[in-house]
Structure 1
């Protein structure tokens, strides 16, 4: 009887030891580093279940013991996460559990597209069309079709999208980026218009947007934005034409090849401020926040002219005589 009891105890101890060893081995498989030598991308498809993802990870060589993770569904179903679809970066120092946690927390790979201040809307569309992993749903649409899609039918797109860096993940639609940029410009412009100076020679937020685009395109040195806006403000108040070269360039469209001739300055386009009175009918670029601030808070002063020094800054003048001397110094002599 005692021998049988001892044998039973021994068997029980051996069984518990084997069970513990088996459990520990299973845990080690879950915690083991994944089988990659360098970062790799892995995509979880929409609707993919836990076991299917484990199979795909094993088939692709990322996991060596897929069985260990499938066993979770039976032994510890509470530890089985719901995996979110998307593209994930898997790195050599990660364990299989780390991989599943990343997928459960939707820590997807992100990309970005940058739209610099002063770009035109055409340049923005070109950047979106070439952005990697972005869904180019609007690529074949005209500007009119795109604005209608965004709920702005009949509106000219130039200037209405805020220049910034936009972050997205694989499969996001370019429409989403455009919608985000449109709302952002609406918000920034509305906030700044509320705090505008009282004596502006323009009456609507859209006119301030047009002015901001002129300031943006004329500015090479950020600290000059409000002074340039001040010159434009005073010229409008006195009924002087704005005579700003970027409007000539914008009116030329694809014909512009890097130089403006005297004939170009005299050409009657809707945008040529050497010919038309006041501001052009639409913005000529995508202005950033600083240019918008300058448009609603132009600098006080008495300068009416400016000319480029050739280094990104401008010489500002009060009189036409002083301006002509500056033109001779900085442009004709050069």
Structure 2
């Protein structure tokens, strides 16, 4: 039997120990690098989302990931991207970035197009350009593309509207839509939601008023412009419906402000009433050609479920509470109007 304490055996042992240590160190380093490349949290930015544009190239995307310091150890991310064939499968979209996300998951999301939809909410919009601006801020397409669609008569006709009343197609609500969805597809989605909103019950109520759904929205926009409080909307709607039924000019101040295109007006004066514009309901009988602002769901339902009464006049209360005083006769209305005019004068509100 060979002697374990032989000098040559001891010498070989001394040689192998460093070799084993080196191999172990290399294996440990490789394992650590593999962990960093695949499993370790990699997101280091405070940004909530990473956007891949429809016209971005693979180099564009990797360049921004590097320049914006999205990931730790970019060189490892780049190698993982190559290993996972990201260049062949990258998808545009809006991708959520989470602190615990690793390279494999981040790259997998980009490859699979696993983006997070935008929760798009809108309300209280006055003009088409306001809506186009909001859409452009929220989605990949810019506001000019949305503005062009909103002004396009052919697009309005396609969905059963005119260029004047197409604004009524957009029902204020919260919608989940992917960031890179094309403007035409977004409009189609809004039209689908419009049809869903105008269910059989609402359509039946519009028919009972002898109004189209677009006309209901036009009246609802006036109600929305007049009312500061939702609980007063049905009463205001009832007043304007009384005027329509009797063939009386609506004489709605918000339409005059819209016709003058001056939304700084706080006090409608006689000079404002003279403008020759179809939206000026002091000069033109009936409803205006389209909504003067985007009506809310509450204002639409207020028209459809209006209060039945005999009022045909109203005036803002002189306590500036946002509520109104209603009257059945011109004499009573003038009393209310003088109270409000005095209150305006006391506060030096001249326009």
Q: TM-score range by the shorter chain?
A: 0.7 to 0.9
Contact 2:140 2:179 in 1 (8 A): yes
Q: Which residue of 2 aligns with 1:288?
A: 296
1:71 Cα shift? 6.9
**Measured at CA, do residues 120 and 54 of structure 1 come closer, stay the same or move farther in structure 2, by a change above 3 Å?**
closer
Query: Partner residue of 2:280?
Result: 272
> How many residues end up aligned between the 2 structures?
323
Match of 2:221 in 1: 213
Aligned partner of 2:202 among 175, 193, 201: 193
Distance 1:257 1:322 in 2: 25
Shift of 1:124: 1.9
Tell me if structure 2 keeps the 8 A contact 1:305–1:316.
yes
| 1:1-334 to 2 correspondences below 5 Å | 21=28, 24-30=31-37, 31-34=39-42, 36=44, 38-39=46-47, 42-44=50-52, 62-64=71-73, 66=75, 70=79, 83-88=90-95, 90=97, 92-104=99-111, 106-108=113-115, 115-117=122-124, 119-128=126-135, 133-138=140-145, 141=148, 144=151, 146-149=152-155, 151-152=158-159, 154-156=162-164, 157-164=166-173, 171-190=180-199, 193-196=202-205, 199-200=208-209, 202-253=210-261, 259-309=267-317, 310-334=320-344
TM-score (norm. length: structure 1):
0.73
Distance of 2:53 and 2:129 partners within structure 1: 33
Farther off after superposition, 187-196 or 164-173: 164-173
Contact 2:81/2:107 (8 A) holds in 1: no
TM-score by length of 2: 0.70
SS in 2 for 1:32: coil
Deviation of residue 22 (structure 1)?
A: 6.5
Gaps of 5+ in 1: none
Q: Distance in 2 between matches of 1:127 and 1:68?
A: 35
- How far apart, CA to CA, are the structure 2 residues paired with 1:247 and 1:56? 48
